[in-house]
Amino acid sequence: QSALTQPRSVSGSPGQSVTISCTGTSSDVGGYNYVSWYQQHPGKAPKLIISDVSKRPSGVPDRFSGSKSDNTASLTISGLQAEDEADYYCCSYAGTYTLVFGGGTKLTVL
């Protein structure tokens, strides 16, 4: 199972919107509506911010949204805040109790 493809880095100014893409195949992203996204600040454990392509767990700001088209999922962060600076990982279901992660994207808030 190959890792999903994410841009290595993205950046934006406070208040702007950024979108992080996550490209897989028909065996993972394209085959199921089970894409999740995780935020990881330096030295911290990852935190779930999106499940099932577009669902936000309780407590996650609605500035975070997810979508999917064919084999590519996307995470959009609107109204960027300094605290959003972190690494972001997409993840897809790829079969029974099998997950595959993206390589991660470093978000810099300018």
CA 66, 100, 11, 84 torsion-angle sign: positive
Residue 102 binds to another protein (criterion: CB under 8 A): yes
**What letters, b where the CB count within 10 A reaches 16 and e where it falls short, cover 55-88?**
ebeeebeeebbbebeebbbbbebeebeeebbbbb
Please give the residues from 21 up to 60 whose contact with another protein meets the rule CB under 8 A. Answer: 32, 34, 36, 38, 40, 45-48, 51-52, 57
Residue 2 binds to another protein (criterion: CB under 8 A): no
From first CA to last CA, the distance across the chain in angstroms is: 35
Minimum Å distance from CB 104 to another protein? 4
Minimum Å distance from CB 106 to another protein? 11
| Closer residue to another protein in complex, CB, 79/103 | 103
CA distances from 17 to 34, 79, 98 (A): 24, 6, 32
Minimum Å distance from CB 93 to another protein? 5
The binding site for another protein (CB under 8 A) comprises 1, 3, 32, 34, 36, 38, 40, 45-48, 51-52, 57, 89, 91, 93, 96-104
